[in-house]
């Protein structure tokens, strides 16, 4: 099962190395990791998406991460109502003939075209991983030349429904 773990860490040299190292040392399967600064100077936020077999492993992961000296806080937010977003850039083959067709796919996904070339388009899309996944599937037949994804970054929502187990945010 997929779990989302968020960490706040002191932005000191080596901290990212310590965290990725821990994943490989303990043989945990990491799907994506995204890192960036926060509103607080010197503090970064890391969002990891991991694939685990059971709850015991996720408990171990969070405990081991918590042990790192430069880690301030670890939370497994998978069971909370979250806003999770990922960004993807997709360079897709396109001819003047099928351009409109592609635009018609882009619209319902609220993706946008950020560069137009002679025989290709670059599309930017944000959203939950599943949405991006679905969009990629749709666009694949046109011929994807290049693809870059950021990995998920996520927040718990401001108000939590008490009984909610799995949550999908509105696009």
Residue 75 or 83: which CB sits closer to other proteins? Answer: 75
Q: How is 40-106 classified by DSSP, letter by letter?
A: STTEEEEEEEEE-SSHHHHHHHHHHHHHSTTEEEEEE-TTS-EEEEEEEEEEEE--TTTHHHHHHHH
Torsion of CA 75, 157, 30, 67, to 10 degrees: -10
Nearer to other proteins, 39 or 107 (CB): 39
Q: Nearest distance from residue 12's CB to other proteins, in Å?
A: 7
- Least Å from the CB of residue 61 to other proteins: 10
Check if the beta carbon of residue 15 is closer than 8 Å to that of residue 68: yes
**Minimum CB separation from other proteins for residue 127, in Å?**
32
75 vs 87, beta carbon nearer other proteins: 75
Would you say the C-alpha torsion 100, 101, 107, 109 has a positive or negative sign? negative
**Which CB sits closer to other proteins, 9 or 49?**
9
**Minimum CB–partner distance for residue 114 and other proteins (Å):** 35
Q: Minimum CB separation from other proteins for residue 69, in Å?
A: 5
Rounded distance, CA 43 to CA 54, Å? 30
Task: Indicate the residue among 62 and 150 with the shorter CB distance to other proteins.
Answer: 62
Residues that bind other proteins (CB under 8 A): 9-10, 12-14, 17-18, 21-22, 25, 56, 59-60, 63-64, 66-72
């Amino acid at each position: 099962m997929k779990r989302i773990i968020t960490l706040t860490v002191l932005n000191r040299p080596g901290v990212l190395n310590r965290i990725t190292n821990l994943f490989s040392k303990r043989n945990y399967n990491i799907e994506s990791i995204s890192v960036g600064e926060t509103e607080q100077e010197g503090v970064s936020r890391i969002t990891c998406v991991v694939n685990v077999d059971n709850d015991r492993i996720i408990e171990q992961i969070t405990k081991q991460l918590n042990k790192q000296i430069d880690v301030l806080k670890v939370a497994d937010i998978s069971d909370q109502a979250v806003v999770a977003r990922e960004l993807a850039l997709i360079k897709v083959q396109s001819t003047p003939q099928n351009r409109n067709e592609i635009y018609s796919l882009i619209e319902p996904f609220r993706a946008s075209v950020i560069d137009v070339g002679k025989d290709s388009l670059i599309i930017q899309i944000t959203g939950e991983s599943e949405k991006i996944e679905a969009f990629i599937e749709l666009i694949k037949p046109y011929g994807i030349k290049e693809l870059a994804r950021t990995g998920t970054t996520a927040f718990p929502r401001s108000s939590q429904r008490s009984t909610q187990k799995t949550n999908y945010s509105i696009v």
